[in-house]
Amino acid sequence: MKLKIAKLPGDGIGPEVIEQAAKAVDAVCKKFSHEAEYTFGYVGACAIDRYGDAYPEETHNICMQSDAVLFGAVGDPKYDNDPTAKVRPEQGLLAIRKKLGLYANLRPVETFKSLAHKSPLKTELVDGADFMCIRELTGGMYFGEKGRKDDGNTAYDTCIYSRYEIERILKLSFEYAMRRRKHLTVVDKANVLESSRLWRQVAQEMEPSYPEVKVDYMFVDNAAMQLIRCPKFFDVIVTENTFGDILTDEASCISGSMGLLASASVGEHTSLFEPIHGSYPQAAGKNIANPVAAILSAAMMFEYAFGLMEEGAAIRKAVASSIDEGVVTEDLANGGKAYSTSEVGDWIAAHI
């Protein structure tokens, strides 16, 4: 099979980790006789420097003409402490999500037995935790009306959702739950927010269509607590954009390192695969960042964009071996030898 991949490494550690993901992709292609064709595109701060636009038209065209987008990270500290900046690298990520219609962000949380000790939670709480966070990605406060009034002294962001937007993400989540342990937790703040009450109403209306799925409703503050109190409770979590942003960062530490968590964003056009860790500028160029999240994102790419499950599994197996054998970057080394980003990437590719 020919795989047309848009390669958007972005900023910070993005290029380093995407290079390792590409090594894994190439190794899988060699093993299973596929052919990967990459087209490079600028996104984030590097795109602002070059085009004055965090998601230039040229990059968008590349994504639209590809079968999958392999995305690194965006962000640069020079923008973080400047609230007056007109263009920001993060706009690139928001624009790509919106323009590709990527309304569902899937962030799996899996635990590796040999890393349970790295989790800030007790081993018995973490061991065996395995759930999927489904975050709505193109609505809510991120995209609702926002602005300033009173000479800039009052600011607002609007959390707005239509029934259509809620239905499509819930449908995907119910269907996802059907393929897993059939337990869906809808996270909202329906005791306070009208948008949450619409979410809950729509979810309740859809429940009878999925009689096998056990649905529970949880307020987001409680969900934040339950995630660390008993992560094993969860199977599939679905929630709106902002809640999902916050809860998935929280959930990412359950497995021991944020450097392990991959994601897939799917929707109307080309799907996008991205580690959830961000640009981590302090580590950029040092060859120390954990490439596993990016490599596991490549595994999700095979599975979700191409339906190539065995290929995805081959990557997962090699990643699991690298962790079991202690071929890990410094975030996971635990006093043992810390391997560099590229050494871990080479080891995993060789193992595939």
Which of 319, 305, 284 is closest to 21 using CA atoms? Answer: 319
Q: Which is nearer to Mn ion, 167 or 245 (CB)?
A: 245
Strands 183-188, 236-239: pairing is: parallel
99 is catalytic: no
Q: Specify the stretch interacting with Mn ion by CB under 5 A; choose among 34-42, 82-90, 97-105, 242-250.
A: 242-250
Instruction: Identify which of 134, 144, 138 has the alpha carbon closest to the alpha carbon of residue 170.
Output: 134
Rank residues 76 and 311 by Cβ distance to ligand IPM and give the closer one.
76
d(CA 12, CA 20): 15
Specify whether 245 is catalytic: yes
76 binds, among ligand IPM, Mn ion, none (CB under 5 to 8 A by kind): none
Of these partners, ligand IPM, Mn ion, none, which one is at the site of residue 93 (CB under 5 to 8 Å by kind)?
ligand IPM
List residues binding ligand IPM (CB under 6 A): 90, 93, 245
Smallest gap from Cβ 291 to ligand IPM, in A, equals 18
Q: How far is the CB of 249 from Mn ion (least distance, A)?
A: 5
> Is residue 74 within 8 Å of 8, Cβ to Cβ?
no
Question: What's the closest the beta carbon of residue 14 comes to ligand IPM, in angstroms?
Answer: 12
Instruction: Give every CB contact of residue 82 below 8 A, 6+ residues apart in sequence.
Output: none
* Residue 169 or 349 having the CB closest to ligand IPM: 169
Residues 6+ apart with CB under 8 A from 85: 79
Shortest CB 327 distance to ligand IPM, Å = 27
Strand order in the sheet with 183-188: 35-40, 2-10, 68-73, 271-275, 262-266, 104-110, 130-136, 236-239, 183-188, 214-219
Contact pick of 245, 287, 342, 346 for Mn ion (by CB under 5 A):
245
Q: Which residues are catalytic?
A: 142, 189, 221, 245, 249
